[in-house]
A and B are shown apart, each in its own frame.
Chain A
């Protein structure tokens, strides 16, 4: 389509982006439109307040953490490439895509940020980052408490909260260091069919 091509030409390095993430041109255009709509001041970068303008995110218990996940530590802005890369994590793993050995593996089938062996679901790494705010590779009891706090209703008392956190750590913590490492996290999620859950269809 004419409009697709003209919009595509506006984006730098779009070929590389498409290859890396596996999005189709139509998708990239749509994401670009969305990026521009969010970027009200047309700076080419998104800041946290642009995300904050999305009303519905504020109605999400972990909305702020998700916003945080878009920004690498130390960075204050997000450009279009990073935006798309992060969203690519949430595409369902496409089993039908031909595995071209010469192409680099698409983003959503390996964990690029951690030094662990490639996993099928890099979603787990994104989820792990949501918990692990101080990026030390472990979910401490305090961090778990924070997340639990944000996801439970106000009526739950502090003691109840702590007991839930304690039991959760007990269940998942295999090496008894009172924290959940990435491996333990991943193991505890074996039964959850993540790909099915996280299939945001329109990102296919």
Chain B
């Protein structure tokens, strides 16, 4: 593809116009010849099929084309074009926003296409020809990269790489299968005469098959936004749609070259060259992406003093990776995908929090914008009689074949894959995967790039592609959700669940998650561990800022050293006093982190400071938490009777306040939603409570009866289970399943792990001071006890 602008204009005009009259609308430019001449003038590659005429929005005098240089015209047209595009986008976004309920039934992409049709109709009606179409250049260079970069940057890496094998199988083998079967099927039917008389050959059918076979990432995301499927299924379809570009590009170019050569010249050598070119293109593209990811990571490592423009680098380098791969004739989509995938982790660690937020939001903005424009233009492009050639047989057969062969292909491949997978893909998953193979703008872009001279039936192909895209996006998009609901296991009656059921449902959810964690959902893999070690040692050292690295390791080390030091000092103290019984009676062990470590680690330990402490040495934030009222209770009590209100309140409380737990079936990637922080706060809270309860049980087990001094705060009053009036507190130690030693080691290990977890990306930490200060400050006796035991064990 060339970089030339596709806005060319025609030299053939009405003589009336040439004389500078005011009526511009009747101009009928000649499409093919002009574009050819223009492109040869400008020295560009394959010509585009579109034509643009300057359309003055305000209806002023149309300038005579003959009297202006091309560049001026292009410039003016460009700006008008942009105006219209922006206007379009604004309107569509507004319209779509107004109708949230509508979008849950009809996917946004379908609505956008509809709007595109309407707009196209307006433009056509006003101008008597289609001024705006989706040109390959605009699409491939200005609209697509953002979408793909967004997909790569937000890709859930773990999920992606653990399913990589299956994704590759679908992407490579599946696409080849689709291309071959569709192409050959159509060829067979043409030979059989089902399509009438068209000037086409086997190679052209194969080429058409290859470009229509590819599942489109833009369309897939747009539809799967609404349909919530489980993660594995989602990543399969999504990953496949991204990675199949490697195959599509190769097949397209190979068959394009074959068509140019003519059928006679093709021999084994050419075919082998074709196969080799696949490997070169695919791996080369990925390599370019990875190189750029390295560049970006290194760059963010050095940008401490220019944080304000850090976000810009990400976008520029991402786009650069796309262009570089394109320039080297490698797969550009693969390049930008891998760039996004590989650099996520390092740039999130290196960059300032605000830059990271900026990057995330801007990327979503660009991606959403591009997607909107793409679909609207897909709609507009249809309203152009010049490109429509109707051939019932061709079109219907294409639709049939892509549908049927997709199903067959997916089921076949899944059957083979299930023999090697530990988690088999079920029937319903396969159905959704087959049905979700949507074609979209990429296919249209590719078909619009074809050369009319070589492909006499180009318009037929364009029309067919458009119809296929509409069919899949609109029909399959709309019916996907009902299909999924219909196929799912029979649901329980949708009656109001009782309280017990609600609670139990949630308990089961938590149980499920816990068992998954215990049994290790993603198994321990030799290769994965090796990679992990390599990455921790070398890559992080190379690519991450020293301070980012430090915060991952050093706080952990601090804590460890701290405890050892304290343990040693207590042992010494105990030796001096003759026994260790003093530990029990000590009112407060003063562990002043500030004094000890402020100098070396001040930048990393901002929160473990007394500034955040309230009067009782309990972090203020925890006290503040209590003050948040449950407003709803008060509001409704007046309306309902006593009993009803109790009932209502109870249900409402449960609704509001039950911990949600980790959702199995949550969409990990979303075009329009950035992950909110609620989960992380919830997780922190649960973690704190678990730690505290473990500590409590350890303490009560170790110290016998309730400890001498307990810090009474409002916060603690809530945490009452151990103080139930039925005198069970002393039974706690008996009931405790872990036993003494078990608990303390458990506690210590958990605390260490918590510290490690705590020092992960700053976003997770939030604004709450880490629990370790609560625990250490108020239960330092316990900690010392732990250290003692540890010290004993170390000897």
Q: Does B738 contact A (CB under 8 A)?
A: yes
Q: Does B683 contact A (CB under 8 A)?
A: yes
Rounded to whole Å, the gap between the CB of A97 and the closest CB of chain B is: 15
**B508 to A, closest residue via Cβ:** A197
- Encode contact with A along B490-517: 1 for CB under 8 Å, 0 otherwise: 0111010111110111111111111111
Interface pair B511/A66, CB less than 8 Å apart: yes
Q: Does A200 contact B (CB under 8 A)?
A: yes
Bound-state CA distance A156–B649 (Å) is 12
Interface pair A56/B657, CB less than 8 Å apart: no
With A188-B504, A192-B504, A203-B519 as known contacts, state yes or no: A197 contacts B650, CB within 8 Å.
Answer: no
Contact residues in B for A103 (Cβ distance below 8 Å): none
**B736 to A, closest residue via Cβ:** A68
Residue of B492, B523, B750 near A30 (CB, 8 A) is: B523
Interface pair A164/B650, CB less than 8 Å apart: yes
Interface pair A87/B510, CB less than 8 Å apart: no
Among residues 37 to 68 in chain A, which have CB atoms less than 8 Å away from a CB atom of chain B? 37-38, 47-49, 51-64, 66-68
Interface pair B499/A171, CB less than 8 Å apart: yes
Among residues 164 to 200 in chain A, which have CB atoms less than 8 Å away from a CB atom of chain B? 164, 167-168, 171-172, 180, 188-189, 191-194, 196-198, 200
Among residues 115 to 165 in chain A, which have CB atoms less than 8 Å away from a CB atom of chain B? 123, 126-127, 130, 133-134, 142, 145-158, 160, 163-164
Among residues 187 to 242 in chain B, which have CB atoms less than 8 Å away from a CB atom of chain A? none
Interface pair B742/A76, CB less than 8 Å apart: yes
Q: Does A10 contact B (CB under 8 A)?
A: no
Contact residues in B for A90 (Cβ distance below 8 Å): 512, 515
With A30-B523, A155-B625, A167-B647 as known contacts, state yes or no: A189 contacts B690, CB within 8 Å.
Answer: no
Bound-state CA distance A163–B662 (Å) is 27
With A49-B746, A197-B505 as known contacts, state yes or no: A62 contacts B510, CB within 8 Å.
Answer: yes
Interface pair B646/A61, CB less than 8 Å apart: no
Rounded to whole Å, the gap between the CB of B454 and the closest CB of chain A is: 50
Residue of A34, A76, A151, A156 near B523 (CB, 8 A) is: A34
Interface pair A164/B497, CB less than 8 Å apart: no
Contact residues in A for B728 (Cβ distance below 8 Å): 142
With A76-B739, A146-B721 as known contacts, state yes or no: A167 contacts B689, CB within 8 Å.
Answer: no
Interface pair B726/A167, CB less than 8 Å apart: no
Contact residues in B for A57 (Cβ distance below 8 Å): 514, 517-518
Rounded to whole Å, the gap between the CB of B523 and the closest CB of chain A is: 5
Bound-state CA distance A191–B489 (Å) is 14
Interface pair A171/B500, CB less than 8 Å apart: yes
Contact residues in B for A153 (Cβ distance below 8 Å): 656-659, 682, 685
Residue of B504, B523, B718, B720 near A189 (CB, 8 A) is: B504
User: Chain A: interface secondary structure?
Assistant: helix
Residue of A56, A155, A188 near B626 (CB, 8 A) is: A155
With A47-B742, A151-B659 as known contacts, state yes or no: A60 contacts B650, CB within 8 Å.
Answer: no
Residue of A146, A147, A172 near B507 (CB, 8 A) is: A147
Contact residues in B for A53 (Cβ distance below 8 Å): 749-750, 753
Contact residues in B for A71 (Cβ distance below 8 Å): 737
With A146-B721, A202-B521 as known contacts, state yes or no: A59 contacts B687, CB within 8 Å.
Answer: yes
With A26-B422, A64-B694 as known contacts, state yes or no: A37 contacts B512, CB within 8 Å.
Answer: no
Bound-state CA distance A53–B520 (Å) is 12
Rounded to whole Å, the gap between the CB of B509 and the closest CB of chain A is: 7
Interface pair A194/B658, CB less than 8 Å apart: no
Bound-state CA distance A180–B721 (Å) is 19
Q: Does B142 contact A (CB under 8 A)?
A: no
Q: Does B424 contact A (CB under 8 A)?
A: yes
Residue of B626, B661, B743 near A60 (CB, 8 A) is: B661
- Encode contact with A along B722-749: 1 for CB under 8 Å, 0 otherwise: 0010101000000101110011011101
Contact residues in B for A99 (Cβ distance below 8 Å): none
Interface pair A191/B742, CB less than 8 Å apart: no
Interface pair A158/B500, CB less than 8 Å apart: no
Q: List 16 A-B contacts (CB under 8 A).
A: A31-B519, A34-B523, A37-B524, A49-B742, A58-B750, A60-B517, A61-B690, A71-B737, A127-B508, A134-B735, A151-B510, A155-B625, A163-B650, A167-B499, A191-B497, A192-B492
Which A residues fall within an 8 A CB radius of B? Answer: 26-27, 30-31, 33-34, 37-38, 47-49, 51-64, 66-68, 70-71, 73, 76, 87, 90, 123, 126-127, 130, 133-134, 142, 145-158, 160, 163-164, 167-168, 171-172, 180, 188-189, 191-194, 196-198, 200-204
- 6 residue pairs, one from A and one from B, having the closest CB atoms: A34-B520, A52-B746, A49-B746, A66-B514, A48-B738, A49-B745
Besides the known contacts A30-B520, A147-B503, A200-B515, 11 further A-B residue pairs in the complex with CB atoms under 8 A apart: A51-B518, A61-B690, A66-B514, A73-B737, A87-B518, A130-B507, A134-B735, A149-B721, A155-B630, A168-B500, A200-B516
